[in-house]
């Protein structure tokens, strides 16, 4: 895939300037992105992970510093704290931070793609990011991921600038050997800082930097990167490592402490919620990046998209004198497209698949860490790669047909998501239980995994929305532990005149088998009286049994969110 330096230079120098029409189109795409991310932004309330972040950003600076010291990446909590102090802590106010950051990713992706390829590819890639249900989903969460993607895009954009990719004047300097490289040291410094900031948002930035680094080395081997710039690139990697080293040392220290003492934070550092990925996990990830998940795909919209693609092929088929000539033109388009901007193709491919491959490998060789949302940075590379392929094949399949097929599939998934946007039901569950609680009833908290840290988070999260429970007896219990100890703990916050409500996170149908354990009747005088499901929460009311110890007929558990469970 090597190309001569003069060919590469000529290709990039001939790149046309961006017209006002393109900027207007980008503005329209950005407005669409803003509307999609603002729609139903506060629906359903915050869920478990968001509530943890909400409590951090709504708390004191001292509490935030403590969280950071325990290993929480600092940039988003600090920014979220400032945002909450200015705009408040309502659901829509907190989520609007990520929504705003998600919108900013769209024009920045265009700038990156324009440097790699051209404005037409940039517009298609920006449209994919604007409409992608995956991007909308995480832009509507009070979590790291939109900021993570924004810093990754900024890092790559600055790197492309300092390498001269897409910069006509900078590319011309490569024609004159020995001429001093003119890339701004300030731009290099910006690249280093943006990369380090991305790491302090999410440590998986390291996998993106490694993958892009491989692509740059390939570009250097092909003669697309001048030696002075390569030396500065290597120096910048050393500088980035120096900036992220303190955080790496802190994490290593926390891991060591957790291993030696079994500290509570070790539960989170070990990421027990992640299991080893199946062999097809990277393929699934690509599908999720486009359509959020198979359960969100709309068959109707998929069929319409395929029909659009078929119409596009039929539309251009006669122009090529039949299908045989069409296939010949297809092969020629691929050869022509891959014959130029080879560095751009390498960056797009490594950006998309490099982090997936690295994380997948580590999940089997070290410990499971593969999670789609942690690989958010790869989504931008995927949209660029797809857009570049679509534009490359425009002579045999119209851009409107191929891009339209993908956008229609995204739109169908997005409509499914809007129809069922529930991520949690903490607000609804807390409001319901506020009305049910009577004087003297206590509250207990547990979770499906039943770890000490998670049970404590469930309790603290519950109190974010609860209005009628803050002054009641409360306890964290181990629902998976010995039944005698569980009953004793539940009794400690109840009385013979009143019961106790157990709030369980996850496994809403039969949390850790408790319903089965109490199915035959009271245990040590405690009976399960009522079970109420709320999406990923289960509320269970226990009461003291009558003197005869008669078992209570529980019947079927009720659901306050019929049709939205799970």
Percent residues over pLDDT 70 in the chain: 85
Contact yes or no for 204/362 (Cβ under 8 A): no
E-strand stretches of 223-299:
none
Provide the mean pLDDT of the chain.
Answer: 85
pLDDT reported for residue 565: 36
pLDDT by residue (tens digit) across 326-342? 778 778 888 888 877 88
Half-sphere exposure of residue 53: CA atoms within 13 angstroms, side-chain side: 27
pLDDT reported for residue 550: 46
Confidence of residue 16 (pLDDT cuts 50, 70, 90): low
How far, in Å, are 433, 472, 494, 501 from residue 438 at the CA level?
Answer: 10, 10, 11, 11
pLDDT reported for residue 439: 84
What pTM did the predictor assign? 0.89
DSSP string, 79-148: HHHHHHHHH-SSHHHHHHHHHHHHHHHHHHHHHHHHHHS-HHHHHHHHHHHHH-HHHHHHHTSSSSHHHH
| Cα gap 543→541, rounded to integer Å | 7
Confidence of residue 157 (pLDDT cuts 50, 70, 90): very high
| Cα gap 396→370, rounded to integer Å | 38
**What are the φ/ψ torsions at residue 3 (nearest 5 degrees)?**
-135, 150
What are the CB-based long-range contacts (under 8 Å, 24+) for 227-233? 228/180, 228/181, 229/162, 229/163, 229/164, 229/181, 229/183, 232/162, 232/181, 232/183, 232/188, 233/159, 233/162, 233/163
Q: Residues with Cβ < 8 Å from 267, sequence gap 6 or more?
A: 451, 452, 453, 454
Contact yes or no for 271/342 (Cβ under 8 A): no
Q: Is 534 helix (H, G, I), strand (E, B) or coil?
A: strand
pLDDT reported for residue 170: 40
| Cα gap 75→497, rounded to integer Å | 49
Confidence of residue 312 (pLDDT cuts 50, 70, 90): confident
Output 317 or 371, whichever has higher pLDDT: 371
Q: Which two tokens stand for residue 198?
A: 């991305």
Q: Which of the residue ranges 171-175, 273-277, 288-292, 295-299 would you say has the lowest mean pLDDT?
A: 171-175
Q: Residues with Cβ < 8 Å from 314, sequence gap 6 or more?
A: none
Segment 148-156 shows an average pLDDT of: 98
Report which DSSP code applies to 521. Answer: S
For β-strands 526-534 and 558-559, DSSP reports them as parallel
pLDDT by residue (tens digit) across 431-486? 999 999 888 889 999 988 888 888 999 999 999 999 876 788 899 998 888 888 98
Output 552 or 82, whichever has higher pLDDT: 82
Instruction: Single out the residue of 76, 51, 81 nearest to residue 150, CA to CA.
Output: 76
Half-sphere exposure of residue 445: CA atoms within 13 angstroms, side-chain side: 20
Q: What is the chain's Cα-based Rg?
A: 27
Instruction: Single out the residue of 196, 300, 202, 289 nearest to residue 240, CA to CA.
Output: 196
Residue 538 backbone class (left: φ over 0; alpha: ψ -120 to 50; beta: rest): beta
Q: Which two tokens stand for residue 425?
A: 């039901």
Instruction: Single out the residue of 238, 207, 22, 216 nearest to residue 114, CA to CA.
Output: 22
| pLDDT for residue 260 is more than 70 | no
Q: Residues with Cβ < 8 Å from 128, sequence gap 6 or more?
A: 290, 383, 386, 387, 403, 406, 407, 410
Confidence of residue 551 (pLDDT cuts 50, 70, 90): very low
pLDDT reported for residue 177: 42
Contact yes or no for 141/50 (Cβ under 8 A): yes
**Per-domain residue ranges of the chain:** 20-166+185-419, 426-544
Residue 472 CB burial class (10 angstroms; 0-12, 13-18, ≥19): middle
Contact yes or no for 351/210 (Cβ under 8 A): no
pLDDT by residue (tens digit) across 500-545? 999 999 865 565 678 788 888 888 888 888 889 888 899 999 988 7
pLDDT reported for residue 494: 82
In this structure, the number of other CB atoms found within 10 A of the CB of residue 327 comes to: 12
pLDDT reported for residue 210: 96
pLDDT reported for residue 93: 96
């Amino acid at each position: 895939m090597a190309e001569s330096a003069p060919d590469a230079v000529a290709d990039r120098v001939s790149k046309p300037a961006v017209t006002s029409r393109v900027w207007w189109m980008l503005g329209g795409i950005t407005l669409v992105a803003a509307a999609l991310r603002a729609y139903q932004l506060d629906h359903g309330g915050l869920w478990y992970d968001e509530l943890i972040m909400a409590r951090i950003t709504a708390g004191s600076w001292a509490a935030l510093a403590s969280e950071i010291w325990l290993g929480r990446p600092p940039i988003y909590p600090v920014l979220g704290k400032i945002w909450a102090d200015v705009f408040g802590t309502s659901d829509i106010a907190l989520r609007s931070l990520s929504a705003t950051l998600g919108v900013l990713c769209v024009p920045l992706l265009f700038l990156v793609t324009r440097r790699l390829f051209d404005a037409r590819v940039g517009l298609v890639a920006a449209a994919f990011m604007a409409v992608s249900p995956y991007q909308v989903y995480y832009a509507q969460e009070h979590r790291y991921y939109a900021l993570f993607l924004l810093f990754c895009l900024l890092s790559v954009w600055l790197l492309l600038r300092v390498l001269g990719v897409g910069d006509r004047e900078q590319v011309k300097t490569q024609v004159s050997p020995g001429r001093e490289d003119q890339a701004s040291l300030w731009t290099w410094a910006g690249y280093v800082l943006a990369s380090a900031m991305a790491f302090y948002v999410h440590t998986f930035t390291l996998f993106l930097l490694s993958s892009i680094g491989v692509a740059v080395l390939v570009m250097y081997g092909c003669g697309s990167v001048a030696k002075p710039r390569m030396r500065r690139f290597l120096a910048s990697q050393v500088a980035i490592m120096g900036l992220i080293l303190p955080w790496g040392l802190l994490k290593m220290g926390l891991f060591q402490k957790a291993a030696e003492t079994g500290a509570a934070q070790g539960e989170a550092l070990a990421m027990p919620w992640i299991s080893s990925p199946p062999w097809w996990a990277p393929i699934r990830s690509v599908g999720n990046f486009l359509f959020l998940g198979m359960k969100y795909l709309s068959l109707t919209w998929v069929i319409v998209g395929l029909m659009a693609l078929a119409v596009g092929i039929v539309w251009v088929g006669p122009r090529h004198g039949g299908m045989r000539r069409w296939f010949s033109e297809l092969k020629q388009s691929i050869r022509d497209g891959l014959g130029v901007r080879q560095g751009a193709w390498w960056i797009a491919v490594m950006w998309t698949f490099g982090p997936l491959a690295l994380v997948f490998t580590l999940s089997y060789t070290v410990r499971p860490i593969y999670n789609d949302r942690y690989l958010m940075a790869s989504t931008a590379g995927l949209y660029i790669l797809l857009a570049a392929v679509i534009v490359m094949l425009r002579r045999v399949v119209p851009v409107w047909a191929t891009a339209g097929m993908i956008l229609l599939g995204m739109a169908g998934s997005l409509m499914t998501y809007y129809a069922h946007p529930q991520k949690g039901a903490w607000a609804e569950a807390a409001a319901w239980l506020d009305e049910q609680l009577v004087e003297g009833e206590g509250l207990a908290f547990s979770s499906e995994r039943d770890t000490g840290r998670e049970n404590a988070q469930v309790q603290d999260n519950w109190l974010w929305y609860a209005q009628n429970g803050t002054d009641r007896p409360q306890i964290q219990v181990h629902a998976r532990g010995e039944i005698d100890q569980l009953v004793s703990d539940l009794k400690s916050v109840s009385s013979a005149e009143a019961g106790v409500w157990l709030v369980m996170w996850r496994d809403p149908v039969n949390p850790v088998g408790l319903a089965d354990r109490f199915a035959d009747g009271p245990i040590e005088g405690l009976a399960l009286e009522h079970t109420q499901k709320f999406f990923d929460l289960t509320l269970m009311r226990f009461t003291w049994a009558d003197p005869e110890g008669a078992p209570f007929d529980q019947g079927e558990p009720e659901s306050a969110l019929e049709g939205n469970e799970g």
